[in-house]
Amino acid sequence: MTRSQKKQRLNSNSMFETFMTFQPFHSIINFYINLSCFVMTKSIHPGWWALNRIRHSNPIFKLTFQHGKIHQRREFVKECFQKSKNQRKTICGSFLGFHDLFVPIFYNNELQGYLQSGTFSKKNFSFSDLQNAWTNFTGYHQVDDHHDNFRFFCQTILSTPILTEPLFDAYKESLELFALVLGDNTHPHIIKQRLHDLLIQVISKKTPHLYWLNWALGITADESTPIWERGIENLSWIQEELRITRIPTTVITVVPNQLEKKSNPIEKMLLIHSFQKECFQFAQTLPETVGGALNNYGGVFVTSTPAHCTRLQKRSQIGTLAEKIHDFASKELGCPVVVGVGETVAPGESLNNSYHQSIQALHYGRNSGKKIIFYSPAPTVIYKNTVQEFQEFLVLIQSSLASGTLYDLQILKDRFLDTVLRLSNNQPEELYLHLNYSLLFIVQAVKNNFEMHSIDLTHWLDQFRKKLENSLTANNMVHTFNETFDQLTSLLLKPSILKKTLIIDDIKKMIDENFSKPLRLKEVAKSIGLSSSSFSLGFKKLTGFTFEGYIQNQRLNESKRLLQTSSLPIRQIGVQCGYHSYSYFIQLFKKNFKTSPGKFRTSHSRI
């Protein structure tokens, strides 16, 4: 190897290390700008590496693949790389109306590689934008606004990150600064300070933190989060980026009571999408408050009052804040809205109860004629006959669970769903709220009557909510509720199986997040109080896999995905999937897929 080649390899290794460890940029890409970021090198061992890849699912790439636009996408990327090389500057390329950034990396004034980050939109979406995107991807000019395919397409498009000014300029500068560090690596301290300034002064003000609000609300996250406890308000990044100095103690939610002027479901979707972005901005005008999206149908705010205030003073201040949120939401949505307020918890206590209470308050208040509803454990007023029926059926279901007469549940469930459909007028937004509340109520009854106080059903409930959110029609929502309800009642016939199932679900989630690391059966079994043999038998009975077999399956499936979607060296893919022996990885891959990783990549590559 020549001296020049050794120098080139050294620079490539240094670039990779910096790419994976430079925290000032990682804070931006991992916690705010929800985009993939790749580095491509032109060393003697060319290849690429990715940041933020596992957690982020690129909706535009998904549509590109589904609609057969991969070849055009490849040509677009090649053309942008060439432009960036020729012009020696950042290129913002446009493909089917969406954008990617391409930034050249130089070392000693010689091109060493590129950064690529995308895909995003540079403007907020209008109805005509969605129609144009539909035509660009599908080739169809006629659009049925009520058709499920078009609605699902629009839902996918609306999950695309939006970088309007000045956020676009701030992120573009961040990438260019990162490229400077990866290349010449000159003045890193100056670059770190500038990245910090961009994060505090622009990025954190224009787009929400990707996981903080879910962390505060106690919603299950895809990534591990610290323990929510008193003292987190003293963390410098929370004070600087979220601009709060007290730990939140109260949750306020707001939803439209009716969107009368928007009969078109896509226009409703756009209005809610725009409103949720404004919730984040509006919260910054309120004291000690952070705001964001309530699933896909409303807004949520977490706030606090000064510790020295009396209980009445705190309620008065929360009421004033709720009034401001009501006025803001009704103006933005152009229709009546209802605001739900959960109970205030002690500083450092989980906000999850307050969050669920605020949603229950919304549920009670939708037909009350009131604009702000403070949660009350037992509503004293029944507002309409249908609401009364709804409550009565929930009580009957609770009684059936308490008595163990599960057969009656199926009959009650069918009558109950009929009542819910009448209450919601078959409107998906209304139906979502009622079904979400109902299952929360039923699960609480299950925990109370089947000695499951120690079992955490939060993850199970979150899975139901995600399925419900992805249901585009009332019929799909009813099907999801039926499926979940039947699953729960069948498991209740054998409570011990339900407990084991929930534990196994948690273990599977842990494996899915950590399969590239060493995982030992004995340690996992010990963590849940079982012997290795008992745990091993139970795991296989409930999953169909041995513990080691499940880990192996996840690792091999991930290796297949990387072979299809990346140009990483095969050896590196093996290491990334937990195989530190290259020959063992090859042997296992051949055994399971009847072909070598190299041949599999050749015949199945998507890049």
Question: How confident is the model over 347-406, as pLDDT tens digits?
Answer: 999 898 899 889 888 876 666 778 999 987 654 443 445 556 666 666 666 666 555 554
Tell the residue number behind the tokens 């939140």, with chain if given: 248
pLDDT at 390: 64
d(CA 472, CA 179): 42
pLDDT at residue 277 in the model? 94
Edge-to-edge strand order for the sheet containing 36-41? 47-51, 36-41, 110-120, 98-107, 91-95
Reference 458, options 91, 13, 466; nearest CA is 466
Q: Could you tell me if 477 and 515 are in contact, meaning their C-beta atoms sit under 8 angstroms apart?
A: no
For the chain, residues with pLDDT lower than 70 are 1-13, 43-47, 52-58, 144-148, 185, 220-225, 258-263, 364-367, 377-412, 414, 425-427, 429, 444-462, 472-473, 475, 487-506, 527-530, 534, 541-542, 605-607
Whether residue 491 contacts residue 251, with contact meaning beta carbons closer than 8 Å, is answered with: no
Per-residue pLDDT tens digits for 501-521: 556 666 777 777 777 777 788
CA neighbours within 13 Å on the CB side: how many for 134? Answer: 23
Model pLDDT, residue 252: 97
* Predicted TM-score of the model (pTM): 0.69
Distance CA 385, CA 321 (A): 32
Q: Report residue 156 as tokens.
A: 């996918």
pLDDT at 53: 46
Mind listing the pLDDT tens digit for each residue in 22-45?
A: 889 999 998 899 888 888 887 544
Cβ atoms of residues 301 and 289 within 8 Å: yes
Q: Which pLDDT score is estimated for 393? A: 65
Give pLDDT, residue 15.
75
Query: DSSP 3-state helix, strand, coil percentages of the chain (rounded to 5)?
Result: 60, 10, 30
